[in-house]
Amino acid sequence: MAISESCPDMLRSLPNSESAKSPAWGFAEVLPDKVTILAETAERPTEIDVARAQKAKAQAEQILKTPDANTDYPRTLDALARAENRIGVAGKPE
């Protein structure tokens, strides 16, 4: 899936974009006039199950608070970041 949008002021307009998406596992090309994202998945705000994302966030935070030698910390941090991103995008207009 490729998403390309015009972005004259990336830092200001991308988070407030009318076509907000929650991409996962991909690459981004940032040019002066646009950002192109090639992602495995990209969810629209209306496609995100916020309750599920909040549960995933809480689970990841709990794992990080409980020291354990068997914990896969990079995977847990990734799950936390993904959940936070989904929650944030869910509040944006589509």
**Environment class of residue 22 by beta-carbon count within 10 Å: exposed (0-12), middle (13-18) or buried (19+)?**
buried
Phi, psi of 82 (to 5 degrees): -65, -45
Query: Two tokens at 18?
Result: 């009318």
pTM over 0.75: no
Rounded average pLDDT over 69-91: 90
The per-residue pLDDT for range 4-61, each reduced to its tens digit, is 444 333 333 344 455 666 666 777 788 888 878 787 777 888 889 999 999 999 999 9
Q: Pick from 19, 86, 32: which is nearest to 55 by CA?
A: 86
Residue 49 is predicted with a pLDDT of 94
Q: Are 50 and 34 in contact (CB under 8 A)?
A: no
Amino acid at the residue 51: A
Does pLDDT of 91 surpass 90? no
The amino acid at 21: K
The pLDDT assigned to 64 comes to: 94
